[in-house]
Structure formats: structure tokens, C-alpha cells
Homo-oligomer: A and B are copies of this chain.
Amino acid sequence: MSFTSSRRDILSESVLRTVTFAIDHFQVSPGQGVDLSLIDANDTPFWDPTDKAGAKKHVASLAKELQQQQAMLWAQGKHKVLLVLQAMDAGGKDGTIGKVLKGMNPSGVRVESFKKPTNNELAHDYLWRVHQKTPGAGELTVFNRSHYEDVLVVRVMDLVEPRVWQKRYDHIKAFEQLLSDEGTTVIKIYLHISKDEQRNRLQSRLDEPTKNWKFDVGDLEHRTKWDQYQEAFQDALNKTSTADCPWYVVPANRKWYRNIVVSEILNQTLTGLKLSYPKAPDIANIVIDS
């Protein structure tokens, strides 16, 4: 990951505020790669770790900007945006979607969750079901898990032979390049939590009645293979982060911090598209009869 101290100014609600979040700090550089074991999941770059209250206010303000951006994305009907979310079990995918994306107009936002494939899905190549769910013009689509499971769980749990999954990084890069070349902005985020934090979160699913439903005994088996998963994630990040379709690694032990970073990444990326409301060219002389 590269570190950039550059600042960026955003004019929001008539208040000029200085954003110190250089999102490329979190990006996996295509050339350089990333070593997950060196990234502290408790870290809070660009933010005072004691300022949780300020963080929540900041996320709320970013949410308003995101709503405006998404309204223009939808109105313009030109760009397509795909956000891929991956993490270990209990890594915070659902929570991120709930906190960062809520407030957007659900007409233009879709969440696609990829679970264990059906027999019909397995009868096709692994990108078949994924391709069908990619965003259309004006849409922001979130993949809650994705085709990356086909080089993660599939690899770690030996569901196919190595010679099969080893070829998949190239497929995935080519597939995402297609999406990008044809007008889709692809953002990929890995929510990075520690093994301790995973235990805490799984435990809270046991302890809190409103979270029981999220507990899956199967998660414990995956947890015993923590190191293999970390290795598989690291390979996936390093082999498929490209200039057009970058991966971001977000320290995600602190949920309030994770929400800032994901909001900033989305917001800055959408801002970069220079979205605007389209003008209808031929409406000047229209009169509506009573």
C-alpha cells in the first residue's frame, strides 16, 4: 500500500471542509502488493482513534453527499458502479452495507448476496451467475461476497483442484477489465479484521438474542483454517488489484472507523466520475395542457 499525504477539498453543503482521507493509502498497488500480516486491523489512519463521536458525525455527513452522488448517478443513467465486499466471516460486510449505504434511494441501489451456488449455477462456469448481477446504467450494485469466493473458500476447502483455481485469477482480471472497459467503475474492498476480533464477534452472536440468527456453526470450521484463508485473501488481492479495478484493504476491527473509510472510498470514487443531472435538450417550447 502506498501512503499519500495529499489533501483534497470538497465543497459540501456550502461548507468547505478539508478531507484528509487519501484513499489510495488503502489501495493495493498492482506492482507492489500487500502483506496482510503487516496491516494492523485496529489501525485508524487519518483519524484520531479516540474520536468515535466525530467519526459518526463524519459518516453521517458523507452519507448525505453519497445520497446526492447516487441521485445524480441514477438520473444520468450513464455510469455503472460495482462495489465488491469481501471479508472473513463476521468481518462486517452486512454491517457496512447497513451503515454506509442506507439512506440511498433503493431504486438505484441493489445488493446481491452470493451464497453457496445452486446446482444450476454449478452447472455453469463460476462467473456465469455473477455476470448476470452486474449493474446496469445508473445503478450502484454491491456484491456481498462475489466471484472471489471461487479463489477463497473454494481453494481453502479444496472444492476444486489447485490447477483449476490457479487459473481463475486471470479469468477474474479479464472479466473485471471487460466490465471496466464497458463503463463500469469497479471498487473492491477487503474488510480486514483480526482473529481475536472474529472471536469477539462470533461470541456476541451467541450471547445477543438479536444476533443468534447470524450464528452459523460452519463458521467455526472456517475459523480453524484462519491462516490458509489469510493466505488465499492475500493472493487474491495481490493477483487481481489493477489500476482500473483496484482492491482496498480497510482496517475493520473498529466498525465506526471502517464505516468512514468505506464511505470515503465510495464518495471520492463517485466524485471522480463528475456526475451531473442530464439536461433534456428539446423541452424549451413544451406546453402542458390543463
Q: Which residues of A contact B (CB under 8 A)?
A: 75-77, 94, 97-98, 101-107, 109-111, 113, 142, 144, 195-196, 199, 202-203, 206, 209-210, 212-215, 217, 220, 223-224, 277-280, 282-283, 286, 288-290
Cβ distance A206 to chain B, nearest Cβ, rounded Å: 5
Cα distance A107–B106 when bound, in Å? 10
Closest chain B residue, CB of each to CB of A95: B105
Cβ distance A68 to chain B, nearest Cβ, rounded Å: 10
**Oligomer copy total:** 2
Given A113-B107, A290-B199, are A210 and B102 neighbors across the interface (CB < 8 Å)? no
Given A288-B203, A288-B223, are A209 and B106 neighbors across the interface (CB < 8 Å)? no
Chain B residues with Cβ below 8 Å from A98 are 105-107
Please name 20 further chain A to chain B contacts, defined as beta carbons within 8 Å, in addition to the given A75-B214, A102-B104, sorted by A numbering. A77-B213, A94-B105, A94-B107, A97-B106, A98-B106, A102-B102, A102-B105, A103-B103, A106-B109, A106-B110, A209-B277, A209-B279, A210-B277, A212-B279, A212-B280, A213-B278, A215-B280, A215-B283, A217-B282, A223-B288
Chain B residues with Cβ below 8 Å from A105 are 94, 97-98, 102
Closest chain B residue, CB of each to CB of A215: B280
Chain B residues with Cβ below 8 Å from A213 are 75-77, 277-278, 280
The reply to whether A220 and B288 contact each other, CB–CB distance below 8 Å, is: yes
Closest chain B residue, CB of each to CB of A211: B277
Closest chain B residue, CB of each to CB of A282: B217
